[in-house]
């Protein structure tokens, strides 16, 4: 379509006073029209193995998919590990339970991350309790690069530190061993130098005032235990009664007369000032989930979601200022973009100086760009909802008191059994876990079982039989995901730990199907409108049909992921192929039970979608003629049963 020439006013480069950047033709606004525009393929999460770049007018080189929308529409993205599993073992072999790995010093390298992705990691977790933001930025971008270059769909979850009482950094030491009978000092003194041996800094200024002689301190959910023997001003002397390994920034829980002391904890804010800075960082880096520590009520979840929504207002998928920067740098580095010298005549397009100039002015470029092309009639944008899910971590007595309202408000829940077990009697943890898992499924929220699943594998290559039984129980309860913490972050055998989770999940899931243990769980109505009610009934019926007919897979075409989530809630025997045009929705669906998310540009014509899907999947060896599938669509609210032609 012919379009009048437009120019984009850029911020002042280092030497020239002012320059203008010709706007590529695929960036120019189009007249208002009905239907969805194609999505710009230069999103940082879509840059996957382009052929030779094709030039466009104005001398700007763009990726093949952006230069050829028709070719881009014919593509389909699927996780490389899942595709290989389907080709080798067929539908029924696919794992339904999702796996989360905490990334730490043991797994932050590119090779280690790839090994985890190949081994079945669906979500990479970064814990803001440890490391600085630059370190976490490197991990997040390494995961994104892995997705782009190797064809994975690993989501990123950022876990906030929370404002509960915790220890300091142990003077830079990776850990410290507390032995039985040793006297340690817990101090609120601040120091710029490392503390002497057996002195631990505590982050809470009122710590020495709140504890009493005879109180017990549980470290990291009970990994070590101390008894308070004396208070000396800001210092609290304690005797180790249960030896254990002390890790930097481990949580401290105070017990008195057989119950947890929670008055002061209840007064601390759920989201600290540091957490808000970390949340801003996570939004800027485009993480998929933010897990909030020590949630006490639904109010904090609603507040955070409103904040994310406000920060994300006007964001377009693939074109947040951060993603625009990532795209520009990526395109420059890969020779897929050639900038006119009128942008910055004194700079070479490939020079570090030019890259730094782009970094410095990227926000202004983004504002100028969106002002030029407009926010409604440019077909290189798709408006998407706030695409960061908020996960509520259940790890305190306060959370248990407000459990249902917290689950309602959140986008998912984590059963953080370590810290939870430090606030309630240990024997109550299994029943609380089962209650949370069932409630989350009833309310259609993904649930993660976390903490100490394979704790012994931090040091040993084989888990205990009790740990295997614990993992099996979580899978049998039909939790959406299992999470490794220290096992993958700092353990000696992260890949083996992940392999244990994968193999146990597969075996228990297969046993469940072989025994035909379809639960009699009556799922409650979660619809908020008549249209949602129709979708819910379609999904309930499709799951029953899938089990009764023994279909090979359920296909669901979804714009926002909601219908795929409803299907996952039903836990059918067969895998669920979820097709969406959104890269961020695709990654978020990778957290939910049984979903195999694909990125596929769709249309309102169901027959066209199905024919194209069958053709692309058959070409990849992922389906065969004669396979029986049920197909659903949230666009048409339809259901079909058919054989693959």
Mean predicted confidence (pLDDT) in 530-558 = 93
Q: Does 476 score more than 60 pLDDT? A: yes
Predicted pLDDT at 210? 86
Q: What are phi and psi of 547, to 5 degrees?
A: -70, -40
SS3 category, 489: helix
Predicted pLDDT at 310? 86
Residues 6+ apart with CB under 8 A from 414: 291, 391, 392, 393, 394, 447, 448, 450, 483
pLDDT in tens, 399-410: 999 999 999 999
Predicted pLDDT at 214? 94
Q: Is 6 exposed, middle or buried (0-12, 13-18, 19+ CB in 10 A)?
A: middle
Predicted pLDDT at 263? 54
Predicted pLDDT at 85? 82
Predicted pLDDT at 166? 85
Max Cα separation, the chain?
82
pLDDT in tens, 602-624: 777 888 889 999 999 998 888 89
Print the SS3 string covering 62-104: ECHHHHCHHHHHCCEEECHHHHHHHHHHCHHHCCCCEEEEECC
164/318 Cα distance (integer angstroms): 36
85 vs 214, residue with greater confidence: 214
pLDDT-derived band at 630, boundaries 50, 70, 90: very high
Q: Does 568 score more than 90 pLDDT? A: yes
341 vs 271, residue with greater confidence: 271
pLDDT-derived band at 326, boundaries 50, 70, 90: low
Mean predicted confidence (pLDDT) in 37-56 = 33
Q: Does 472 score more than 60 pLDDT? A: yes
Q: Does 340 score more than 80 pLDDT? A: no
Predicted pLDDT at 570? 94
Percent of the chain topping pLDDT 90: 51
Predicted pLDDT at 605? 83
How many residues are recorded in the chain?
645
- Tokens 């002002």 belong to 371
Predicted pLDDT at 15? 43
Predicted pLDDT at 644? 93
Angle at alpha carbon of residue 315, lines to 314 and 318, rounded to 5°? 150
87 vs 471, residue with greater confidence: 471
pLDDT-derived band at 84, boundaries 50, 70, 90: confident
pLDDT-derived band at 595, boundaries 50, 70, 90: very high
DSSP string, 355-375: HHHHHHHHHHHHHHHHHHH-S
CA distances from 477 to 517, 545, 549 (A): 12, 22, 24
pLDDT-derived band at 444, boundaries 50, 70, 90: very high
Least confident of 38-42, 282-286, 473-477: 38-42
pLDDT in tens, 351-374: 445 445 454 454 444 444 444 333
When mean pLDDT is compared over 46-55, 71-80, 215-224, the highest value belongs to: 215-224
What domains can be seen in the chain, in order of their start residue? 94-163+269-316+383-516 (3.20.20.60), 176-267 (2.40.33.10), 530-633 (3.40.1380.20)
Predicted pLDDT at 264? 55
pLDDT-derived band at 31, boundaries 50, 70, 90: very low
Predicted pLDDT at 327? 53
Predicted pLDDT at 423? 85
* Average confidence score pLDDT of the chain: 79
Mean predicted confidence (pLDDT) in 339-349 = 37
**What are the structure tokens assigned to 33, written together?**
């029209």
Q: Does 385 score more than 50 pLDDT? A: no
Predicted pLDDT at 58? 33
Mean predicted confidence (pLDDT) in 65-72 = 40
pLDDT in tens, 491-520: 999 999 999 999 999 999 999 888 876 666
Predicted pLDDT at 88? 78
Q: What are phi and psi of 224, to 5 degrees?
A: -155, 155
Q: Is 263 exposed, middle or buried (0-12, 13-18, 19+ CB in 10 A)?
A: exposed
476/295 Cα distance (integer angstroms): 26
130/364 Cα distance (integer angstroms): 32
Q: Does 238 score more than 80 pLDDT? A: yes
pLDDT-derived band at 56, boundaries 50, 70, 90: very low
322 vs 129, residue with greater confidence: 129
pLDDT in tens, 167-223: 888 877 888 899 999 999 999 887 666 667 889 989 888 888 889 999 999 998 788
Predicted pLDDT at 162? 85
Predicted pLDDT at 541? 94
- Which residue blocks in 190-254 are alpha helix, DSSP H? 207-210
Least confident of 16-25, 80-89, 405-414, 496-505: 16-25
Predicted pLDDT at 87? 81
Q: Does 22 score more than 80 pLDDT? A: no
Predicted pLDDT at 36? 34
pLDDT in tens, 420-443: 888 888 899 999 999 999 999 999
Mean predicted confidence (pLDDT) in 468-491 = 96
9 vs 399, residue with greater confidence: 399
Predicted pLDDT at 378? 36
Predicted pLDDT at 184? 95
Mean predicted confidence (pLDDT) in 387-399 = 93
Predicted pLDDT at 313? 62
CA distances from 426 to 220, 222, 419, 431, 432 (A): 14, 10, 11, 10, 10
């Amino acid at each position: 379509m012919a379009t009048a020439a437009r120019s984009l006013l850029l911020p002042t480069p280092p030497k020239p006073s002012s320059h203008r950047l010709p706007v590529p033709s695929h960036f120019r606004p189009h007249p208002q029209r009905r239907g969805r525009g194609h999505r710009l393929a230069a999103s940082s999460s879509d840059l996957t193995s382009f052929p030779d770049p094709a030039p466009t007018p104005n001398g700007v080189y763009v990726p093949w998919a952006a230069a050829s929308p028709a070719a881009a529409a014919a593509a389909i993205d699927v996780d490389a590990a899942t595709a290989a599993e389907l080709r080798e073992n067929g539908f029924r072999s696919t794992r339904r339970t999702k796996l989360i790995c905490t990334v730490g010093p043991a797994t932050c390298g590119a090779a280690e991350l790839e090994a985890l992705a190949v081994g079945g990691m669906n979500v990479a977790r970064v814990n803001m309790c440890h490391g600085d933001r630059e370190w976490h930025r490197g991990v997040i971008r390494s995961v994104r690069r892995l997705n782009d270059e190797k064809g994975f769909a690993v989501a990123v979850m950022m876990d906030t530190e929370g404002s509960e009482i915790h220890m300091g950094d142990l003077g830079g030491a990776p850990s410290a061993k507390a032995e039985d009978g040793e006297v340690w000092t817990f101090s609120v003194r601040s120091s710029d130098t490392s503390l002497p041996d057996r002195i631990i800094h505590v982050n809470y200024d009122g710590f020495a005032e709140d504890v009493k002689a005879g109180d017990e301190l549980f470290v990291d959910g009970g990994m070590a235990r101390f008894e308070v023997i004396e208070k000396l001003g800001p210092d609290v002397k304690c005797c180790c009664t249960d030896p254990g390994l002390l890790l930097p920034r481990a949580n401290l829980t105070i017990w008195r007369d057989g119950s947890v002391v929670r008055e002061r904890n209840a007064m601390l804010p759920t989201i600290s000032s540091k957490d808000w800075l970390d949340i801003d960082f996570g939004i800027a880096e485009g993480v998929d989930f933010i897990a909030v520590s020590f949630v006490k009520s639904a109010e904090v979840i609603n507040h955070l979601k409103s904040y994310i929504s406000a920060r994300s207002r006007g964001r377009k998928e693939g074109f947040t200022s951060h993603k625009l920067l990532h795209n520009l740098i990526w395109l420059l580095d890969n020779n897929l973009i050639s900038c006119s010298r009128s942008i910055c005549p004194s700079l070479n397009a490939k020079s570090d100086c030019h890259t730094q100039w782009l970094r410095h002015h990227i926000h202004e470029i983004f504002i100028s760009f969106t002002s030029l092309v407009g926010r409604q009639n440019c077909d290189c944008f798709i408006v998407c909802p706030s695409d960061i899910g908020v996960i509520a971590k259940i790890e305190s007595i306060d959370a248990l008191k407000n459990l249902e309202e917290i689950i309602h408000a959140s986008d998912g829940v984590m059963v953080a059994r370590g810290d939870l077990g430090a606030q309630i009697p240990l024997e109550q943890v299994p029943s609380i876990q089962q209650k949370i898992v069932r409630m989350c499924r009833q309310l259609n929220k993904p649930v993660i079982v976390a903490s100490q699943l394979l704790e012994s594998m931090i040091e040993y290559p084989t888990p205990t039989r009790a740990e295997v039984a614990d993992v099996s129980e979580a899978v049998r309860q039909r939790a959406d995901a299992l999470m490794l913490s220290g096992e993958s972050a700092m353990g000696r055998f992260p890949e083996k730990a992940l392999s244990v989770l994968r193999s146990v999940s597969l075996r228990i899931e297969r046993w469940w199907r072989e025994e035909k243990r379809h639960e009699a769980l009556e799922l409650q109505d979660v619809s908020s409108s008549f249209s949602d009610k129709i979708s819910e009934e379609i999904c309930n019926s499709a799951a029953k049909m899938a089990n009764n007919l023994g279909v090979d897979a359920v296909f669901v075409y979804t714009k926002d992921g909601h219908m795929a989530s409803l299907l996952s809630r039903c836990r059918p025997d067969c895998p669920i192929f979820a097709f969406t045009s959104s890269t961020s929705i695709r990654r978020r669906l990778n957290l939910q039970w049984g979903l195999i998310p694909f990125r596929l540009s769709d249309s309102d014509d169901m027959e066209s979608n199905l024919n194209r899907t069958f053709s692309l999947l058959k070409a990849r060896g992922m389906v065969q003629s004669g396979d029986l599938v049920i197909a659903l669509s949230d666009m048409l609210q339809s259901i079909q049963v058919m054989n693959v032609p």
